[in-house]
Amino acid sequence: MMMRTGILVFVAAASLQAQVTFDRVLNAAREPHNWLSYSGTLDNQRFSPLTQITPANAKNLQLQWVWQARSLEKFEATALVVDGVLYTVQAPNDVVALDAATGRVFWTYSHQPSPDARTCCGRVNRGLAILGDTLFMGTIDAHLLAIDAKSGTLIWDTVVASAAQRYSITLSPLVVKDKVMVGTAGGDMGIRGIVAAFDVKTGKEVWRFHTIPAPGEPGNETWSGDSWKTGGAGVWNAGAYDPETNLTFWGTGNPAPDWDGRSRLGDNLYSDSVVALDADTGKLKWHYQFTPHDELDYDSTQVPVLADITFRGQPRKVMLWANRNGLMYVLDRTTGEFLLGKPYVKVNWMDGFDHKGRPKRVPGKVPTPEGTLIQPHVHGATNWAPPSFSPRTGLFYVAHWENTGTIVTEGLSPRPVGVNTRQTTMGQVNLQQFFNNDDEAYGVVRAYDPNTLEPKWEYRMNDITWGGVLTTASDVLFSGGREGYFFALDARTGELLWKASVGGQVNAGPMSYSVGGRQYVTIAAGSALFAYALPEGQ
């Protein structure tokens, strides 16, 4: 027995040291104690197979540790956990390695962004990727860094694009096989969006896809004049990967200038779209444009959620998408075929789809100096916060905003006036006084049936939310919002199971892992990362 115990200890120790192969990243669901990519798995389901925390015992969750970031920026990153070590980002671009059981710091790597760095909406970062012993981080000055996961030292530093030309990177990179991929933000500032892949060992660029086609390429004709050169279509949220088709999927941002399309007549491909790119070559396989010729700033930079479901009685490999434009979609992820689309909030800029899934615009719903009531408002029905899909319940869980509308004015920036002005506030770090009445904008977490896109239940908050959603294999849902609560719901009914006041706004998605047989769930709120678990022994 002594001998056998010794072997088991040795095996366990060896697994602690094992490198994170791409096979592990791809099959992360097989190791529920870890969280190996932004959404846990490359299909972006943000679903944890862990089951220790249940609807019955969630009320007993207790704070285990807090890690305070040295930052006054929004904490938007989702952490990674690899065999007991938690990696996250201190905004804008410091990487921190913590003991996942205690929150104590192993090391910090600090990147000093160029003074040229400009971001539209905060000097933020949404997380890391890992392969082997290497962490990858995009920076707000548009570099891609490779950092040693054991020592926190820099391995390579590749300039993806020019910060002086207003390129930046805020998303978590995507690792596929021997490549690490990023997209560039800056779409509000007249960049030309990029998705690019780099060799994980050397940082050398392997391929580059421009989200706006150049002259001579299909789609360039959808931009009048030279508007394609500065047309935006940034990529600033995590991509997805489908191993069966070897496709990566990326949501693209708004065309620029945002609220005035007169200088860029046409559909403005591939802005406000999802693009399916071959992981090896970066070649475009298909695209679907959610909002052609957008003048309402409806970035389609939500994370693509891939699921295998029974759709209208047939097994179907789909992509689920709750878009900023107020519409929810089911697409065939192999072909890009539009299967279903429906408003999930009040929408007045479109009225139905044509047979190809192109929205029919309502005339006059464009920004004007005199003001136009447009629903959903300038920050959308949802924005970038990651949703969840539970293969157990078959439901798609989205945190979003309700009852919003904004009057915007013509020009370079929208000026919300009249109704519901407060709701247009971006997520912030600290809690704010809140005075809205019950009829004004509010946040919800809703569970949608992908076959109908009808909600099964709703959990309502007073304030709107910029928080993401996590579900678990024990049917517990975690989320949070701008009110500064982190809470657990029953994923089947929406019943509130537990809540904690975290003293700052939640601007991130929750994740879960386990160490030493205990399941933890984390949430970033304010400038801090909080970890909760059941009391020891439960």
Partner 1 sequence: MRPVYVALIFVAAGLLLADGSLSAQHATAFDIEDGGRAFRNTCATCHGPDGDQIAGIDLGRGQFRRPFTDQELVGIIRNGIPNTPMPATNVSEAQAVKIVAYLRSVAAARRSGAATGDAARGKAIFDGKGECSTCHRVNGTGSRLGPDLSRVGQLRRTIELEQSLREPAAEVLPANRFYTVTVRDGTKVTGRLLNHDTFTVQLLDAKEQLRSFVKADLREHGFASTPMPSYQDRLNSQETADVVSYLVSLKGARP
The answer to whether 247 and 333 have CB atoms below 8 angstroms apart is yes
Least distance CB 435 / partner 1 (angstroms): 4
Output the six-digit token pair for 96: 């921190």
Q: Which is nearer to partner 1, 104 or 262 (CB)?
A: 262
Instruction: Please pick, among 188, 294, 297, 463, the residue that the annotation labels catalytic.
Output: 297
Q: Which is nearer to partner 1, 204 or 262 (CB)?
A: 262
Which residue type sits at 219? G
| 296-328 CB burial, b ≥16 within 10 A, e <16 | bbbbbbbbbbbbebebeeeebbbbbbbbbbbbb
Least distance CB 108 / partner 1 (angstroms): 34
DSSP E strand stretches across 139-296: 143-148, 154-159, 174-176, 179-183, 194-199, 205-210, 240-242, 247-251, 273-278, 284-289
Least distance CB 249 / partner 1 (angstroms): 34
Residues contacting residue 373 through CB under 8 Å, at least 6 positions apart: 348, 405, 406, 407, 418, 419
Q: Which is nearer to partner 1, 251 or 484 (CB)?
A: 484
| Annotation marks residue 242 as catalytic | no
Cα separation, 253 vs 355, in Å, equals 24
What DSSP element (H or E) covers 500? strand 496-501
The answer to whether 95 and 135 have CB atoms below 8 angstroms apart is yes
Least distance CB 442 / partner 1 (angstroms): 9
- Percent of residues in the chain assigned helix, strand, coil, to nearest 5: 5, 40, 55
Least distance CB 261 / partner 1 (angstroms): 10
Q: Which is nearer to partner 1, 10 or 434 (CB)?
A: 434
Least distance CB 481 / partner 1 (angstroms): 8
DSSP-based three-state secondary structure for 222: helix
| 194-216 CB burial, b ≥16 within 10 A, e <16 | bbbbbebeebeebbebbbbbeee
User: 80 to each of 145, 403, 462, how far by Cα in Å?
Assistant: 16, 35, 31
User: 199 to each of 131, 206, 207, 284, 302, how far by Cα in Å?
Assistant: 11, 6, 10, 20, 26
Give me the residues that bind partner 1 (CB under 8 A), please. 262, 363-364, 366, 368-371, 410-411, 417, 422, 433-438, 460-463, 483-485, 499
Q: Which is nearer to partner 1, 198 or 397 (CB)?
A: 397
Q: Which is nearer to partner 1, 335 or 462 (CB)?
A: 462
Cα separation, 421 vs 440, in Å, equals 10
Cα separation, 340 vs 156, in Å, equals 44
Least distance CB 368 / partner 1 (angstroms): 6
Q: Which is nearer to partner 1, 71 or 423 (CB)?
A: 423
Cα separation, 198 vs 207, in Å, equals 7
Would you please indicate which residues are annotated as catalytic (active-site) residues? 297
